[in-house]
Amino acid sequence: MKPKVFITRRIPENGISLLREHFEVEVWEEEHEIPRELFLEKVRDADALVTMLSERVDKKVFDSAPRLRIVANYAVGYDNIDVEGATKRGIYVTNTPDVLTNATADFAWALLLGTARRLVEADKFVRSGEWKRKGVAWHPLMFLGYDVCCKTIGIVGFGRIGQAIAKRAKGFGMRILYNSRTRKPEAERELGAEFRPLEELLRESDFVVLAVPLTEESYHMINEERLKLMKQSAILVNIARGKVVDTGALVKALKEGWIAGAGLDVFEEEPYYNGELFGLKNVVLAPHLGSATYGAREGMAELVAKNLIAFKNGQVPPTLVNREVVKVRKPG
């Protein structure tokens, strides 16, 4: 009998069909998230799980899933999973790095450029008929935005995605500053990126892009005090996790002009609905789309499948997050 995998959302077919060769696959097909109680029920007989950021994988899930051996997160971030708890129980946790790096870095740039050049405001202006109603065909001071080329970008979190954002910044002739827990000498050499303590990076940058994982350290890393350090002409871009930024402080900063604008793909609470950011013109908002390209999503589906299949075949999954688990229990 094949082991059972439960998948909490529809993922691209390439991943599902690979999995079907080795597992009995059940997919939650609905558009909306699986209700928590039902999720707890579905995991009862699951040997493997494919989850996303929409599901909290915690003690309660582990307690409900006595057969569970591996959780493959369909995301590079895994702050939705109690990894320590999983390790203790000998449950493997995997993620999907690399395959989404370029897509996410591109999207950071889409937000950066879109916010700097007021693209969404401009689109609304045309589409709403306002352009015609105003009776002004063109005006030299219409929708002025901020220069991007040759300015300073400060990247907070300089892992794969942070560095991919920096590579693109090179093409824009920018000075690149970065902050991360450890220095990255190779990236400094290759990209000409300069390390800065966070406070200095915030003071010097025209664009601050957040690409850090959510941890206890990075929770509300961008708070009122730090927003006050930024230039009044600066733009903040967040493609990391909403909780890295104190939203209340950000709203204040945007309303009171401490900074010029923000491009946000992530929010403290998702879905973000009818919050104060809705009333602000100097923000561009997206519903967590960083890795939402055909290519990245298929790559993620394939990697999820490869992790589960490797595990089933007694091999260490290629993108295992909790390496210590191997000591607790052998794969397979």
Give contact residues for ligand 8YV (rule: CB under 6 A): 52-53, 74-77, 100, 288, 290-291
Residue placing its CB nearer to ligand 8YV in the complex, 77 or 317? 77
CB of 11 to ligand 8YV, least distance (A): 10
Nearer to ligand 8YV, 42 or 118 (CB): 42
Please check if 81 is assigned to a binding site. no
Report the alpha-carbon distance of residue 6 to residue 87 in Å, rounded. 20
Residue 159 annotated as binding site: yes
State in angstroms the smallest separation of the CB of 158 from ligand 8YV.
16
Q: How far is the CB of 269 from ligand 8YV (least distance, A)?
A: 14
C-alpha 120, offset from chain centre:
21
Distance (Å, whole) CA 195 – CA 134: 47
Residue ranges with strand state E in 11-120? 24-27, 48-51, 70-73, 92-94
Residue-wise burial string across 109-136, b where 16 or more C-beta atoms lie within 10 A, e elsewhere: bbbbbbbbbbbbbeeebeeeeebeeeee
Q: Which is nearer to ligand 8YV, 111 or 202 (CB)?
A: 111
Catalogue the active-site residues. 241, 270, 288
Q: Find out whether 220 is annotated in a ligand binding site.
A: no
Pairing of strands 152-156, 175-179: parallel
Check whether 180 is labelled as a binding-site residue.
yes
Q: Which is nearer to ligand 8YV, 105 or 169 (CB)?
A: 105
Comparing CB distances to ligand 8YV, the nearer of 152 and 319 is: 319
Q: Would the CA dihedral through 131, 137, 142, 147 be positive or negative?
A: positive
Output the smallest distance, CB 57 to ligand 8YV, in A. 12
In the complex, the smallest distance separating the C-beta of residue 27 from ligand 8YV, rounded to whole angstroms, is 15
From residue 201, alpha-carbon distances to 107, 144, 155, 189, 257 in Å are 22, 26, 8, 19, 19
Residue 228's H or E segment, with its range, is none
Report how far apart, in Å, the C-alpha atoms of 85 and of each of 57, 59, 60, 65, 275 are: 10, 7, 11, 13, 34
What distances in angstroms separate CA 82 from CA 56, 88, 91, 327, one per listed residue? 8, 10, 11, 18
Identify the residue whose tokens are 């030299």.
140
286 marked as binding residue: no
Q: Is 153 annotated as a binding residue?
A: no
Question: Which residues sit in the known binding site for NADP(+)?
Answer: 158-161, 180-182, 239-241, 288-290
Residue numbers in the known binding site are 158-161, 180-182, 239-241, 288-290
